[in-house]
Structure 1
Amino acid sequence: MNRSFDALLFDMDGLMLDTETLSCAATRRAGAELGIQIDDAMLMGMVGLSEARCTRYIAEYLANEELAAQLQQTSRAGYRRMLEHEEIPLKPGIVELLDWAENQGIPRAVATSTRRAVADVKLARSGLARYFRHTIAGDEVARTKPEPDIYLAAAALLGAAPERCIVLEDSPYGMQAGVAAGSRVLLVPDLIAPLETQRAQALAVCGDLHQALTLLRSL
């Protein structure tokens, strides 16, 4: 079968794993411990960013670098405990999509802003590690999303041209990275609804991964 793409590049948090809500909960708990008011705008501004970019974002948002570092340290510790001891929920449809890709022999890789040590825990404990021989983490590229480095690196690992890859993303920052890499982006929004300009840039915007699979089968 001739397809219009050679490989699939997957974001992780918010796309395959329902972990963005866990991260937000950890940040809110940390804020309560430290007496910092955490609002929705602050949380949504961090979706899709690497840990380092999140820290810089919080420092600017709070206008206080020391407080930002304390918040990140406390929230990351709480988040890590959640990942190690609580169930890591999967996004509906991801197993069916990955089973299809595996059965079709489609090359695939994970490209996540999450640090390697944490990404490995998430993929292992969620059971998704078995689907991926290749993964790129946020601390393994010079520039993280919304820059294209991580998707360019993922395509290179698979020996695929970026323009022949389809990126699956949930966040605007991730979509920017995929578009900048020259790939087509299939957007499956999680916490943030895309703007009309972002919708126009996407190959398609799907309500869930079941819809994404239906589209991929047709390409």
Structure 2
Amino acid sequence: MIKAVIFDMDGLMFDTENMSKKLWKKLGQKHGYNFEDSFFDQVIGLDLSATIKVFKNTFGSDFPYEEYKKEKDEMMIKEIKDSGIPVKMGLKEAIKFLKENNTLIAVASSSKRSTINFYLESADLKDKFDFIIGGDEVKCSKPSPEIFLKCYKKLNLKKEQILILEDSINGIKAANKAEIKVVLIPDLVKVPCEIEKLTFAKLTDLTEVPKLIKKF
């Protein structure tokens, strides 16, 4: 029986990966950089320090990541405040189902805790989760299992009672290393077959979560 579900956030709960990618491309055009889709595939699911490393390895050590990231974040915050945050299909229904069935739910994201809180507040979901853990609260980012092991300890359950929902390659690797069942719900990045084999199941979207949980 599943007693807890851990949600990744960007690309899983909210369509923020797509939004972020569009804004980075807009920023790149402004500053003379060409950000290809294949480049973003490398950084999805990484924390800040790991992301900076990829940017500087690709565009040079003098790439002003912090400056551009701040500009991009300001653009993103404005867009979310103006138009709302794009919620993934089935998210609120899945949360409602899990809460009604007394299932603990948590967010484990590479984003900062402050960003997680802002997104949850924007979607009117702030009080729905039992706890959240951000990328700034762990030493190592996904694919390290640290964030999921921290969730596991906080949940105080057996690993077989926990299910992780992920969309990224690094997230799946992290869950696998933590030895906790992970379900793939694809987003922007195509997950290779060898990584997909590490998952417990693959769903089309979050609307299928209740049906999967009922099988346990």
**Corresponding residue number in structure 1 for 2:146:** 149
In structure 2, what is the equivalent of residue 89 of structure 1? 86
Residues 127-142 of structure 1 mapped to structure 2, 5 A cutoff: 127-142=124-139
Which residue in 1 is equivalent to 2:11?
14
- Alignment partner for residue 171 of structure 1, among 168, 173, 177? 168
* CA offsets 1:167-195 (integer angstroms, 9 cap, x no match): 00011111111111110001101001211
Where 2:204 maps in the other structure, the secondary structure is coil
Deviations 1:18-44 (A, max 9, x none): 111111112112111211111111122
1:59 CA drift (Å): 0.7
Residues 76-128 of structure 1: per-residue CA shift (max 9 Å, x gap)? 33223323333101111111111110000011111011011111100111122
In structure 2, runs of 5+ residues without a counterpart are none
The aligned residue for residue 22 of structure 2 is 25
The DSSP-based 3-state class of the residue aligned with 1:42 is helix
Q: Supply the RMSD in Å over aligned alpha carbons.
A: 1.5
Question: What SS class does the counterpart of residue 106 from structure 2 fall into?
Answer: strand
Q: TM-score, normalised by structure 1?
A: 0.92
- Which of 159, 173, 184 does residue 187 from structure 1 map onto? 184
Q: When the two structures are superposed, what TM-score results if normalisation uses the length of structure 2? A: 0.93
Identity of aligned residues (%): 27
Structure 1 outlier segments of 4+, above 6 Å: none
CA distance in 1, matches of 2:32, 2:162: 45
Provide the C-alpha distance between the structure 1 equivalents of 2:105 and 2:66, rounded to a whole number of angstroms: 35
Aligned length: 216
**Is residue 104–residue 130 contact of structure 2 (8 Å, CA) maintained in 1?**
no
2:114 paired with 1:117: yes
Pick the aligned partner of 2:200 from 196, 199, 203. Answer: 203
Of 70-79 and 131-140, deviating more is: 70-79
Structure 1: runs of 5 or more not aligned: none
